[in-house]
Structure 1
Amino acid sequence: MPTTVSSLFSAYASFAGSMMLVRSIARDLFPQPPSSYIFSKLSRLFSTPFSSITLVIEEFSGAARNQVYAAAEVYLRTINNITPSTHRLRVGKNIRQKTVSLALDNNGQLEDAFDNVNLTWRFKVRKEKSGAEQRQFELSFHKKHKDKVMESYFPYVLARADAIKEEQRVVQLYSRHLMSDTDFKGRCTWGSVNLEHPSTFDMMAMDPVTKRMIVEDLERFVRRREFYKKVGKAWKRGYLLYGSPGTGKSSLIAAMANYLKFDVYDL
């Protein structure tokens, strides 16, 4: 029996009404996070697979490391949206990190949301015939959001990764007296340790006017980095400190380094 337009419309209206009823009941029975998860899965079930697009972000772009990959690697460590589809995570911490970090394991998956766009990140490692490993992230989302992802989401990830690295950065003290390694020609190289000096401008006992003047000068120096680049001048600032031992010269240097998150080189 041929299907009429009116019968199709009637069936669709009946289905839509049933879904609205189920949605209303589910909202009463389940708290918001589980219900959101259920409806997101239902929407994916009834959506066509051709409505999504997957972007592949390889670790290397030519001979250089892909900046988008590096940013995603940092950014994804801060996402706490671990869903039932996330089964394995890698845990690690190096000497320069202050806290333990999480990272996706092979075939791991994380969900993210940005400006009402749902995104799925996947991490994959594949082995070449040569035995080398090729690492890549895959980012999937609805096709209609491609422009927003390219023009807004990726710049956000890049900027957020820079901010995260700055927040987690541990100031280093470099010195020839800390030599612990040699280069490929057998020559001694600079060694480094974490600068764990507790000095900050908040705790330093010095004239408030002088302290404020130094802080403002440091901030102005940082803000004018692009100006130095435009006029072709080296981006550097010098201070001459003098005084008897114990008057706070080293503490002031440490306070500057901790304030700017700049490494210290002991010449």
Structure 2
Amino acid sequence: MVSSFFTKIPSLSAIFSIYTSLSAFTIVFRTILHEILPAKIRHFIVSKFTDYFSSYFNPNFTFIIEEQSDYVTNQTFRAAQVYLPTLLTRISTGSLLVSSSNLKDPMAKPKFGIPVKAKITDDFEGIPLEWTLLSDRDNNPHQKYQKRWESAIFQHHTTFETLAMEPELKNTLIRDLDAFSSGKDFYKSVGRAWKRGYLLYGPPGTGKSSLVAAIANHMNFNIYDLQIQSVKHDEMLRQILTMTENRSILLMEDLDCSGADARDEDKEDDENQDMKKKKDPKVTLSGLLNFVDGLWSSCVEERIIIFTTNHKEKLDPALLRPGRMDVHILMDYCTPVVFKKLAALYLETEDHNLFEPLEKMFLEVKATPAEITEQLMASKNPDVALKGLIEFLERKKMTKESVDFDIKEAEA
């Protein structure tokens, strides 16, 4: 249906060609009138011809190219974005957009672009053209340009080298990412979209955000952090997601409390569901899944989707199946191995006489890596920091034993 729609619409080149042909015909017609008819008769016919058609034809015609068309990126707009920067010397407004996003290299070459409201002169087979870039922020009834949803400038320093994580799990994840990165031909041969979904789940403070940073740095991908709470309905979600680019990560954190329906809607009758949606439109799980599986998958390449949640059990099973969330990673409480990695990072020590009693305590007390990190940062002196950590874990153990005792008393 989409392909037939585009085959029925003439291309921009065809429109200009027709316009050129009409212009040539007009020139030939005027030449014939000049050679055959007397001047007075010729002027009379031309004036009548001009008066008659001037009310129907305007010598100036405007093509409006919007960035989005039915929530899908307008490829003509993309083509104009590629073509117009080659005409920067023809900007008639005397201004040029200069930018740089490379914070790591201050000597990097700046990027040149077209400012909003700038005018560029051009021609097509002798027909003069003028390009103008407009923004939807302008009070103009014709919106020719819409601001884009940009990826965040990513400067997080966490890498897999510095990430405190169980070595076996870390190596398995790295192998999976590398296989995905080199799997373009495989995904094409099996007819699947070149994307990979990861679900990071576990208690708060277990390093889910740090793992996302390590993945982004390992893959050299940009991150699109989707705050689902600010998305009012499925149509807006569709519009936002179509603006993302290839080789990027779509991140949705805390999915269980994001505002989207974590489980499918109750099985009410269709009429009640329709009334509920009209009264309180919002992003639905089905809307998210349908778009990720459908249109978005067919329009993108080499994408990673990462969902994080503190409560995996609250998520609908439809969200967790392979093809949507291919890899499930449990981000758990601190283990002896993770503790040693943290101690090496923050205290610059790989061995200490307090390591053995601390390792035993980690088998009895649940503490998150974030809690351990906070204690290790209290002092640069390993003796002071580790003693403080032992006291912290002992307090947690006593609190837990007190709570467990109260529960047993209540049950008795």
- Same fold, judged at TM 0.5 (above): no
Return the index of the structure with the highest Cα Rg: 2
TM-score, normalised via structure 1 length = 0.34
TM-score (norm 2): 0.23
- Which has more strand, going by share of residues? 1
